[in-house]
Structure formats: structure tokens, C-alpha cells
Chain A
């Protein structure tokens, strides 16, 4: 007699939960957005406060402040995330001043702030800088040696992450800096089965200035009349004039196939209305360049333009929290000549659904690094990602005397002190 009643109660609870969930979806549809649920679940709006504690090492200012003072352009280029992450952690509630209770340790070293006069970061001193920082923290605090860095995380937003080079072949040759093999890397680069992407890395979007993008918003009832939009290089004339190396030939293929197609608004010009034009387009191409990631993805998400990602095996930002297959269109590089067929054969309902997902404000927030930080933004998604890795098993703690990392591995030039 008791069992049927208990079963009935459980069934009733499940039924109401089911009904409520459907109701929630319908309500959201009337608000013209849809909830985003990735493989990690519905986690974009999670609050990391209380789920983890981060200890920020106090490094001498030559690793951070002095570098920034030398070149304040580091705050506006697309690698500025490393600096803003430091500032965010300094004043965040997840920060703890007691390292004994910390789950994660953060090292504020700005490795991507050595800029050429044109504003491009030179990665040649970065390995030495990173190595010197790690030597400092391993000698002044016991926490590095305790786990050989397995509970430390670093922000390395450069082209190929911790491989510290802008050319892919050289980067692959170098591999990830040996000292960072056990640490968690927060980087913009993501490509499956690539040397420069570690298993547990967190992929983040490149930095795009939020105020600048907000300033160029146009009324949402402006009709979207451009079918496909792209502005950028197709041939990198300086480094690869014949094509074939740059973007693995994909961008050149886009140009040669679609330069005369009226549905494709593509060119190399740099218009002042670039942001406004994106808001009048249905699809925005995000092909790979020298590295597979691009700020176009962020711009497309902010402006509601469906990103068409042409980069084989790419790992997109926060891939476990954001279901990119449902939001963007993925086109294999070998399928680029058929791009127009692929895009026009998408059913309109699917297009509308993708636009609804893009219109979700939590989606847009997750791609931005606003100053000051706001709930649901990229900083919080990084912390959420870190929190999802907890709790750890005790095996990361090394037994006394055990050594895994090889401190002399790597090219000879890296071993020079910085």
C-alpha cells in the first residue's frame, strides 16, 4: 500500500517539474530568446562566488605593473584579457588572502605585453618571463612544489597559447612550455588534437572593447538585408602572397568562389560602419587566419549575426557551457566552394532559432570582459569553468621528493634568466 503512494508522489513531482520546464521555455520564447544549455548544463548564469577560492600571488611589479606602464596599449588590444583578469581577481569575492584554503592559485604575469611599434605582441621573451615567474613562486611559496602547478592557472591569450610563438610551425615545434604542463591554461587558442591545447584548458574569447561595441548599436528593427558579411584579408600579401599557407587556403577560396556573388558582401576594406553592417547581416563569416580563433566570433554574437565558422577542429570559447553547434554554422574547409549551397539550404526556422539563441542576453554577456565586471560575463564563466574542475582527487599532490616537471627542458634560449 505504501509503495504505490510513494511512486505516485514521485511521478506527480516529476510531472509538475516537466510542465514547469516547458512553461519556462514557452515564456522565454515569448521573450524572443531561448535558454542556452551546453553539455555542462544550463551553467551560463551560475554564480561562482562560494564555489571556489582563488589566491593571487604577489609578484614584483616588473612582471605586471611596470610592463603595463611601459605600454598602455596592452589594455585595448585583443589580448587584454590577461590584464583585466588580474584586476578582476584582485577585487573579486572569490579572492582569498589565505593561501591554505585556496583551491586555485593565480600568477599575474603579463606575457603578451611586449608590443612592436605597430602594436603586435612579440612572444620571444614570454617563455623566459613565465619561467622566471614560476621560479619565483616556487621558491617563495610552497604551493607550486606541492602539486607542481596542478592547481595553478595562467592566462595565456596569445596566438597559440603557451607555445609562445605566432607561427604555427614554430609553435608546434616548441610545444607548451614544459613548466606549464600540469597547470590549467586559460587561452584563446583552441584546436582539437593540437600540441598547444592541453586537455584541461579553458578556451576564452579574445578581448573586444565592450563600450566601443555598445556605442555602435542600431535599432533592432533595422531589417537585416545582407545575407553573408565579411571584412578582412583573403591573401596575406606580406607573408604569403600566393596563398595556400594563410588560413590553409580557406579565405582565398572564399574570395575566389564568391567575389562575384551578390549574396556575399565580402571585401578587404575597412569601413567605419563595420559594426553597423554586421547588425544588418544574417550570416557573418568567421574563417581562420594564421590561428583559428578570431574576434569576429565575439562581434557576431554581440550583434546578432549568425557566425559561420570555417576552421577545422576548432575549439570555441566555453565549449562546455555554450552549445556552439546550435548557435553557429560549422563549415569544413574542404566544403568552402559549396558555402552558398550550405547556407541557403538551412531552413528558415533553424535560422530563426539561432537568432533567438544569439539574442539571449546571457550569451552576449558571456563573451564580454566589461569593466567593472558584471554577473555572467567572461570573467565569471572562467571562474565557473575552474569551479567545475573541483573537487580534485588527492593524486595531484606529489609525494615528498617526487619530481615530475623537467626544469631544464625546452630550447636553450628559454633557460636564460629574464
Chain B
């Protein structure tokens, strides 16, 4: 018998380019969130339009508004920037940038983060995804990138709506200020999103990722908002990422790069920990 054409022991594996895999996972993740993203974006734009539409009457009644605001406790006035309520930037801070915009962006970030690996595990698609020649770290980094893009897209929509709408109601705010405030809110949201990503990577549970992310965000918000009300809370206030992000008033003073750096570094640490956690874990089967 002639020697059979023996298959070589090591078969050379096709090596898909990590970059194109990264793009594919990022694009797919964004496509899966597209509808929810559109909904949040429209909600944010509608809210911005609504707030802008009432600004002229607020500006007109500046004096009586100032007296009304003075009845509030000082800490509250500080937390929601009520003292400058009748100025354009003060109004925007109070109505949008101190709470609504960060909370909407946080909701988006948590949604993407919880769906990322935990969501795929719960749906059972993780087995299929990771049976492909992709590395876990690559999938996680792609999902984190998709989260960044989703949050920036909606923050950008809000920015555009305010930038286009402000002049129509004689609200004086700089483009740079709007951009800085929007960017800072996005970085704040991404910090909590990264936390949810980590919880999802460690537990494989969507509910845990959402729950921990939401509770942490709520706690941080309350700490920031109420911190000034009681002396004993005052020292703790600085622990809240909301305080890091908002205390320098980016709408007026531009991006506080130290705060932006802190938020970004925090997110990067959390994403790195997620990669390590996911790399080592047994994926759950349905």
C-alpha cells in the first residue's frame, strides 16, 4: 500500500484579523441597541426643547423667581445651582445638566453594559459567540467601545439640540460650555456603565449588572445632591463621582480636565477588571 497522504499534525488555522472582529462586534452591539438609543435620543431632545421653551418666561420673571428660590435651603440651591437659576447657564444646569442628562446617559450606559456579556450569557448566545475564533478580551473591549459610542451619540444629540435651540430663546451659553457639560455628563455615565460591565463579567447576571450599576449611580447622586445638607455628609460628598463631574460647573468653566481624567481612569480600571474577570470565568450555560 502506498503511503496515504497523511494530514499534517498541526493544521494551520485561519487567523481572522482582530481589528475586523472588533469592528464587527462593536457594530453588531450598536445595531442591537439602535431602537432603544433612538428612543432615548428623542426623549432627550424633546426634553431639551421643552426646557428651552419655558426659558423666556423664567428670564422675564427673574426677580420673583430669585425670591422664590431663596426660600430653599442653601444646600439645595447649591446642589441644583438654583442661585443662578435665572441666568442661561444656571437654568440649564438646574433643569438638565445636574440631573436629567446624567441620568439618561447612565440609563443608556447601564443598558448596553448589562446586555454586553451577561445579556449574551443569559440569552445563551455567549456559547455561540465564544465558540468562534474570537478572544474574550476582544469581545469585551468591543462591547465597551459600543457603550462609549452609544452614550456619546445621545450626549451629542442633546448638545446639538441645545446648541441649535439656545439662540432662539435668547439663552446665552457658549458652544464650548455646552460641549464641556455634555462630555462631562457622558464620562460620568460611562463610569457607572463600566461598573455594570464589571458586575456582568463577574456574575454573568444581567439583573446584577443593572442593579449594582443603578444603585451605585443613585447613591452617588444622592450623596452629591444631599451632601451639603448635613455637615457629617459634607466630607463624604467628595466621594461621589457626581461631585467630581459637576462641582467645577463645566457649562461655565469648560472641561475640568482633572475631573475628566478621574472619571476616565476609573472607567478604564473597571473595564480592565472586567476583562480579567471574564477571561477566567466559566461561561454559564442556559
Q: Do A and B come from one complex?
A: no
